Chains A and B, each alone.
Chain A
Amino acid sequence: MSKNTGANRFRKVDVDQFNEDNFQDELIEDGQDLGPNEGEVASLLNQNKHIDALKAALSNPPVATKNQAVKDQAAQLVLRVLLAFKSSDVEKGVNSLDSTTLDILMKYIYRGFETPSEGSSAQLLTWHEKVFAKGGLGSIVRVLTDRKSV
Chain B
Amino acid sequence: MPEVHSFGIEPISCHAWNKDRSQLAISPNNHEVHIYTQNGGRWDKSHVLSEHAQHVTGIDWAPESNRIVTCGVDRNAYVWTLIDGKWKPTLVILRINRAATCVRWSPLENKFAVGSGARLISVCYFEKENDWWVSKHIKKPIRSTIASIDWHPNNVLLACGSSDFKARVFSGYVKEVDDKPAATAWGKKMTMGNLMAEFSNGGGGWVHSVSFSASGDKLAWVGHDSSVSVVNANNQEKIATVKCAFLPFTSCLWVTENSLVVAGHDCCPMLFTHDDSDTLTFIHKLDVAKEKEGGSMSAMKRFQTLDKRATTDDSSSDLNTQHQNTVTNISIHTGTKERCSKFTTSGTDGKVIIWDFKSLESSIAGLKVA
Contacts from A to B (Cβ < 8 Å)? 23-24, 99, 103, 134-139, 141-142, 145-148
Stretch at the interface among B47-55, B185-193, B238-246, B269-277: B238-246
Q: Which residues of A contact B245 (CB under 8 A)?
A: 134-139
Check B247–A142 contact: CB distance below 8 A.
Answer: no
Cβ 8 A contact of A146, one of B144, B204, B244: B204
Q: Which residues of B contact A23 (CB under 8 A)?
A: 143-144, 164
Categorize the interface residue count of chain B. Answer: 10 to 19
Q: Which residues of B contact A142 (CB under 8 A)?
A: 203, 205, 225-226, 243
Check A145–B203 contact: CB distance below 8 A.
Answer: yes
Q: How far is the CA of A136 from the CA of B165 in the complex (A)?
A: 22
Cβ 8 A contact of B243, one of A99, A134, A147: A99
User: Which residue in chain A gives the minimum CB-CB distance to B226?
Assistant: A138
Bits for B82-95, please: 1 = Cβ < 8 Å to A, else 0. Answer: 00000000000000
Q: How far is the CA of A36 from the CA of B223 in the complex (A)?
A: 29
Q: Which residues of A contact B203 (CB under 8 A)?
A: 142, 145-148
Knowing A23-B143, A103-B243, A147-B165, say if A137 contacts B204 (CB, 8 Å).
Answer: no
Knowing A141-B224, A145-B203, A147-B203, say if A136 contacts B246 (CB, 8 Å).
Answer: yes
Check A136–B244 contact: CB distance below 8 A.
Answer: yes
The A-contacting residues of B in range 208-229, CB under 8 angstroms, are 223-226
Q: How far is the CA of A135 from the CA of B246 in the complex (A)?
A: 9
What is the CB-to-nearest-CB distance from A61 to chain B, in angstroms, rounded to a whole number?
A: 11
* B248 close to chain A: CB less than 8 A: yes
- For this complex, 11 residue pairs linking A to B, each with C-beta atoms less than 8 Å apart, are A23-B143, A136-B245, A137-B245, A138-B225, A141-B225, A141-B248, A142-B225, A142-B226, A145-B203, A145-B225, A147-B165
Q: How far is the CA of A51 from the CA of B244 in the complex (A)?
A: 25
Q: Known pairs A138-B226, A138-B244. 15 more at Cβ < 8 A?
A: A23-B143, A134-B245, A135-B245, A136-B245, A136-B246, A138-B243, A138-B247, A139-B245, A141-B205, A145-B203, A145-B205, A145-B225, A146-B203, A146-B205, A147-B204
Contacts from B to A (Cβ < 8 Å)? 143-144, 164-165, 203-205, 223-226, 243-248
What is the CB-to-nearest-CB distance from A143 to chain B, in angstroms, rounded to a whole number?
A: 10
Q: How far is the CA of A23 from the CA of B247 in the complex (A)?
A: 26
Check A141–B226 contact: CB distance below 8 A.
Answer: yes
Q: How far is the CA of A147 from the CA of B200 in the complex (A)?
A: 12
Q: How far is the CA of A103 from the CA of B245 in the complex (A)?
A: 10
Cβ 8 A contact of B247, one of A103, A134, A141, A148: A141
Q: Which residues of B contact A141 (CB under 8 A)?
A: 205, 224-226, 247-248
What is the CB-to-nearest-CB distance from A130 to chain B, in angstroms, rounded to a whole number?
A: 14
Q: Which residues of B contact A137 (CB under 8 A)?
A: 226, 245-247
For the complex of A and B, the 10 pairs showing the least CB-CB separation, nearest first, are A136-B245, A138-B226, A146-B203, A145-B205, A147-B204, A145-B225, A138-B245, A145-B204, A146-B204, A141-B226
Q: How far is the CA of A146 from the CA of B227 in the complex (A)?
A: 12
What is the CB-to-nearest-CB distance from B199 to chain A, in angstroms, rounded to a whole number?
A: 13
Q: How far is the CA of A64 from the CA of B322 in the complex (A)?
A: 42
What is the CB-to-nearest-CB distance from B316 to chain A, in angstroms, rounded to a whole number?
A: 22
Q: Which residues of B contact A135 (CB under 8 A)?
A: 245
Q: How far is the CA of A148 from the CA of B205 in the complex (A)?
A: 11
Check B225–A146 contact: CB distance below 8 A.
Answer: yes
Q: How far is the CA of A85 from the CA of B224 in the complex (A)?
A: 33
Check B224–A145 contact: CB distance below 8 A.
Answer: yes
What is the CB-to-nearest-CB distance from A21 to chain B, in angstroms, rounded to a whole number?
A: 8
User: Which residue in chain B gives the minimum CB-CB distance to A27?
Assistant: B204
Residue among A99, A103, A139, A145 having the largest count of chain B Cβ atoms under 10 Å:
A145
Q: Which residues of B contact A24 (CB under 8 A)?
A: 143
Residue among B144, B164, B223, B243 having the largest count of chain A Cβ atoms under 10 Å:
B243
Q: How far is the CA of A131 from the CA of B58 in the complex (A)?
A: 39
Q: Which residues of B contact A103 (CB under 8 A)?
A: 243
Q: Which residues of A contact B226 (CB under 8 A)?
A: 137-138, 141-142
Residue among A134, A137, A141 having the largest count of chain B Cβ atoms under 10 Å:
A141
Q: How far is the CA of A103 from the CA of B205 in the complex (A)?
A: 14
What is the CB-to-nearest-CB distance from B229 to chain A, in angstroms, rounded to a whole number?
A: 14
What is the CB-to-nearest-CB distance from A31 to chain B, in angstroms, rounded to a whole number?
A: 13
Q: How far is the CA of A134 from the CA of B246 in the complex (A)?
A: 11
What is the CB-to-nearest-CB distance from A120 to chain B, in angstroms, rounded to a whole number?
A: 26
Q: How far is the CA of A88 from the CA of B331 in the complex (A)?
A: 48
Check B224–A138 contact: CB distance below 8 A.
Answer: no
